[in-house]
Structure 1
Amino acid sequence: MPKHGKKVRQAYEGIDRLKAYEASDALGLVLERAFAKFDETVDVAVNLGVNPKYSDQMVRGAVSLPHGLGKTVRVVAFCKGENEEKARAAGAIEAGGDDLVEKIRGGWLEFDKAVATPDMMGVVGKIGKILGPRGLMPNAKTGTVTFDLENAIKELLAGKVEFRVDKAGVVHAPIGKVSFGVEKLLGNMRVLVDALVKLKPASAKGTYLKAISVSSTMGPGIKVDVASLRRAE
Structure 2
Amino acid sequence: HIWKTIILGQMLSLFICGTAVTSQYLADKYQVNTPMLQSFINYLLLLLFYTTMLVFRTGSDSLWQILKQRWWKYLIVGLADVEANYTIVKAYQYTTLTSVQLLDCFGIPVLMALSWFILRARYRLIHFVAVAICLLGVGTMVGADILSGRQEGEGSDVVIGDVLVLLAASLYAISNVGEEYIVKNLSRVEFLGMVGLFGTIISGLQLAIVEHKEIMKIQWNWKIGMCMTKSCAC
TM-score, with length taken from structure 1? 0.24
When you count strand as a share of all residues, which structure comes out higher? 1
Greater per-residue helix proportion:
2
